[in-house]
Chain A
Amino acid sequence: MTEPLPPALALRGLAKSFGGARALDGVELTVGAREIHGLLGHNGSGKSTLVKILSGYHAPDPGATLQLFGEPLRLPLTRAEQRARGLAFVHQNLGLAPQLSVLENMRVAEITAGRPFIDWRAQRRAALASLQQFGLSIDPDQAVASLLPVERALIAIVRAFAAIDATRSGRELHGLLVLDEPTPFLARDDVERLFRLMRQVVAQGASVLFISHDLDEILEITDRATVLRDGRVAGSFETRHTGRERIVELIAGHAPVTTSSAGAVAGRGGAAAEIAFEVRELGGAALQPIDLQLRRGEIVGLTGLLGSGYEQVLQHLFGAVPATQGVLQAGRERIELRSLTPAAAVRAGFAFLPGDRQGASGAGGLSVLDNLLLPDLSRFFRGGRLQWPIMRGHAQALATRHRVRPVDVDMKLAALSGGNAQKVLLAKWLDVGPRLLLLEEPTQGVDVGAREDLWAAIRDIAAAGTVVLCASSDLEQLEALCDRVLVFARGRCRAEVDRATLSKAELLRQCYAAVAA
């Protein structure tokens, strides 16, 4: 028998209030040594708040106790304490400085550690080594702002693994890796690579706290898991001995209501509907020219592996990143895509939800109300003034309909949980009923129940005639939502999967086939 190791993390009586609202209330969490521990819960249940308390970003309410590897410590932990004990984080918002380079972001802890001189060569070597470990070919001198969302997520993950690796003594690792929803951006093979690395660090002695809304991932990778509901622990379980139903019940607080995804097929823009948009020869810096025919009410998915170019299609169609060529024809209207600006696109009735929630989609420093109503304020401008009571009512109704929690439209967007912020930003565009709705990872970070609702809302707006383009690496989402899916590789559209054959497995097969072709 081996000697019993103390748990990597033992938290007791953790509470946190923001103003009047309790985000965490008497939470207990134990992550065993060499364990991958899952943390689940609906949007706003307090997962990220717990992580931010561990990382010292928030101070908890008094009364919490913490033990790391058997050693009692006081919260909040200092950075030195975290480093010494091998605590490493991937935050939900990644925690990268967009203006700085990949290198500076990856080595921020070492660079700012207070030594008088920085050995840039050594730092660069270390950064390159960890990038390589993940099979990434990203230029370390590039600004993080210029990376794709998925590349940014990978940088944050690589950085955290490097921090764990720094605790190595011989073959032994030591430490706790905390991953707050690292997977929504990742394609399937990146998730697999992440899981391999997680298993590796655990095999060598470290522990992992892993947050995800994806039950498949939780079932696949974790040993044990804890479920939060409204800031309290709803239960914890051994993954091996627990069924999916039971987990959903713990998350929701009641037995799962069987939702039929059969309704998905109804009310779809079929081949019979008229063509709403015709895109010809759309091309960009990382996109070979493509043609698209989009019918009224159609939901078209775009996918591929990282860097395959599918992300660019939406950016070009909205003018967010200028295309190098191409025209879009809508009836008699003709739009030169090379000179299209977002302002012109919005006037033409296009809407774009970028994948980068923080930097591009919504203003965290402004209220939920401000963010919700921004796209079309003229609706509320009557009698020479904005009608605030009407705006407030409208925003409140909208937040309620899309199950934003809490329904407090005066809250800053940044104070909402990740999933709830995402609901706000999607609701914003659904509300104005655009002709063409361009969505990048529309339900990233949204919990299972709310996701189905958002899908239903997207289907509704399509049924009313909107053309929806959905770029996503989430194949389950594409299967549930789309009428057909275009699969990209190396800047080209390589295959089209239509409704009849559309399934997660088929999409996965096509993604890899497209690369091999």
Chain B
Amino acid sequence: MSRKHGSTSRASVGALVERFALLGAWLVVIAGFGIALPGSFLTWQNFAVMFASQAPAALLALALIVPLTCGDYDLSGGAVVTLAAVILGVLNVVHQQPIGLALAAALAAGLLVGVVNAFFIVYVRIPSLVVTLGTASLVTGFVQWFSDSSTISGLDAGFVDWIIVRQLFGISYAFYVAALVALLLWYVFEYTPLGRRMLFVGKSREVARLNGIRVDRVRAGALITSSVLATLAGVVYAGVLGSADPFSGLNFLLPAFAAAFLGATSIKPGRFNAGGTFIAVYFLASGITGLSMFGIPLWVTSAFNGAALIIAVTLSQFARGRAESDLG
């Protein structure tokens, strides 16, 4: 190596700090609220609830980083979450169909959205932002018609039981579903040739194409995967609530994107990555949980998400000497 020694180690210390800054920030937030609210915030109960209730948000954020890695935005993810939940609700509760059938129908609907996205983005070659903005709106409209714009409660008890009541180490299964997906994505991104190909597709389509990568297939696959994972998020969401809420799509989407970009500042800085995304979701959730325990009004939630994103990305930009951002 031709680099000089002292500065190499200084540079690598800097890199290490950057990688784990988000994790550190999370711990600071926990410590802060823990000191302020020792009795309520710093309890296992509180964390167990947060881990489970944020599982749908984590799943959606993980869904989004798949197409983001390939250079495509999927704005329809939030709508698909509600689509899946509402299909479960309407089929299982209103039409009294078995939960298995309802799950299959939700999956089919999610797949359909993914295929439609992929068709217009990859085959017709319309920018992903445009297409998924359209499908998001379309799906939202459909959801409201299909659910009659009302929340449907009374989902299959066995299903709800499995998602939220049953626990492992004191945390509901919902959390482990999200954790499993995060592990799976981490494995695919880091340890499979497919993950490397996705990275090249995201950085430069022409380079990827001329290196023999089937760019269209990779992009279509990523978009469909995203919709399927968003469906899973919707299913878990319905399980966590025990009911299907037709109005939460957009509320999910923005924090999920925030978590995806926030996650890209850590663990593997400069790349969308599963570990960072997962931590980011729980970092944001911890902040919001703590603030709400102080009795802070609801609007602070949005402000907190937005501020956290901008501050974190800014800090990591300065850590890298304001080098050109690798994202987007």
Q: How far is the CB of B326 from chain A (nearest CB, A)?
A: 6
Q: Are A375 and B212 in contact (CB under 8 A)?
A: yes
Among A343, A345, A361, find the residue whose CB has the most chain B CB atoms closer than 10 A: A343
Q: Which residues of A contact B204 (CB under 8 A)?
A: 359, 363, 365
Q: How far is the CB of B192 from chain A (nearest CB, A)?
A: 7
Known: A343-B212, A366-B199, A406-B1. 19 other contacts (CB 8 A): A20-B4, A20-B5, A20-B6, A21-B2, A21-B4, A318-B210, A347-B212, A352-B210, A359-B207, A360-B206, A363-B204, A363-B207, A363-B208, A370-B200, A377-B196, A385-B192, A386-B190, A406-B3, A407-B1
Is B318 an interface residue, CB under 8 A from the partner? no
Chain A 75-89, CB-CB to B under 8 Å as 1, else 0, gives 000000000000000
A and B contact pairs by CB, cutoff 8 A, 19 listed: A19-B3, A20-B5, A20-B11, A21-B3, A21-B4, A342-B209, A363-B203, A366-B199, A370-B196, A370-B200, A374-B196, A377-B193, A381-B192, A384-B191, A385-B192, A386-B191, A386-B192, A386-B193, A407-B1
Q: How far is the CB of A438 from chain B (nearest CB, A)?
A: 11
Q: How far is the CB of A423 from chain B (nearest CB, A)?
A: 15
How far apart are the CA atoms of A514 and B131 in the complex, in Å? 51
Within 8 A of B (CB), among A7-35: 19-22
Q: Which residues of A contact B3 (CB under 8 A)?
A: 19-21, 406, 408
How far apart are the CA atoms of A375 and B209 in the complex, in Å? 11
Known: A359-B204, A407-B1, A407-B2. A378 touches B212 (CB 8 A): no
Q: A381 is contacted by which of B1, B193, B326 (Cβ under 8 Å)?
A: B193
Q: A360 is contacted by which of B8, B191, B203, B207 (Cβ under 8 Å)?
A: B207
Q: Which residues of B contact A304 (CB under 8 A)?
A: none
Q: Which residues of A contact B (CB under 8 A)?
A: 19-22, 318, 320, 341-343, 345-347, 352, 354, 359-363, 365-366, 370, 374-375, 377-378, 381, 384-386, 405-408
Known: A359-B206, A361-B210, A366-B199. A378 touches B1 (CB 8 A): no
Is B187 an interface residue, CB under 8 A from the partner? yes
Is B211 an interface residue, CB under 8 A from the partner? yes
Q: Which residues of B contact A346 (CB under 8 A)?
A: 211-212
Q: How far is the CB of A414 from chain B (nearest CB, A)?
A: 9
How far apart are the CA atoms of A496 and B223 in the complex, in Å? 50
How far apart are the CA atoms of A365 and B204 in the complex, in Å? 9
Q: How far is the CB of B223 from chain A (nearest CB, A)?
A: 19
How far apart are the CA atoms of A342 and B211 in the complex, in Å? 7
Q: How far is the CB of B328 from chain A (nearest CB, A)?
A: 11
Among B196, B200, B207, find the residue whose CB has the most chain A CB atoms closer than 10 A: B207
Q: Which residues of B contact A318 (CB under 8 A)?
A: 210
Contact size range, B: 20 to 34
Q: Which residues of A contact B7 (CB under 8 A)?
A: 19-20
Within 8 A of A (CB), among B177-194: 187, 190-193
Q: Which residues of B contact A359 (CB under 8 A)?
A: 204, 206-207
Q: Which residues of B contact A407 (CB under 8 A)?
A: 1-2
Is B308 an interface residue, CB under 8 A from the partner? no
Among A20, A354, A407, find the residue whose CB has the most chain B CB atoms closer than 10 A: A20
Q: Are B207 and A343 in contact (CB under 8 A)?
A: no
Among A19, A362, A408, find the residue whose CB has the most chain B CB atoms closer than 10 A: A19
How far apart are the CA atoms of A381 and B193 in the complex, in Å? 7
Residue of A nearest to B207 (CB): A363
Q: Are A345 and B4 in contact (CB under 8 A)?
A: no
Within 8 A of A (CB), among B253-299: none
Q: B191 is contacted by which of A320, A342, A347, A385 (Cβ under 8 Å)?
A: A385
Q: Which residues of B contact A345 (CB under 8 A)?
A: 212
Is B42 an interface residue, CB under 8 A from the partner? no
Q: Are B2 and A385 in contact (CB under 8 A)?
A: no
Q: A405 is contacted by which of B2, B193, B211 (Cβ under 8 Å)?
A: B2
Q: Are B210 and A320 in contact (CB under 8 A)?
A: yes
How far apart are the CA atoms of A320 and B205 in the complex, in Å? 13
Residue of B nearest to A361 (CB): B207
Is B125 an interface residue, CB under 8 A from the partner? no
How far apart are the CA atoms of A354 and B187 in the complex, in Å? 32
Q: Are B11 and A19 in contact (CB under 8 A)?
A: yes
How far apart are the CA atoms of A346 and B192 in the complex, in Å? 19
Residue of A nearest to B7 (CB): A20
Is B122 an interface residue, CB under 8 A from the partner? no
How far apart are the CA atoms of A352 and B213 in the complex, in Å? 13
Q: Which residues of B contact A374 (CB under 8 A)?
A: 196, 200, 211
How far apart are the CA atoms of A384 and B214 in the complex, in Å? 22
Q: Are B193 and A408 in contact (CB under 8 A)?
A: no
Q: Which residues of B contact A22 (CB under 8 A)?
A: 4
Q: How far is the CB of A383 from chain B (nearest CB, A)?
A: 10
Q: Which residues of B contact A360 (CB under 8 A)?
A: 206-207, 210
Among B7, B187, B190, B212, find the residue whose CB has the most chain A CB atoms closer than 10 A: B212
Q: Which residues of B contact A19 (CB under 8 A)?
A: 3, 7-8, 11
Q: How far is the CB of A257 from chain B (nearest CB, A)?
A: 22
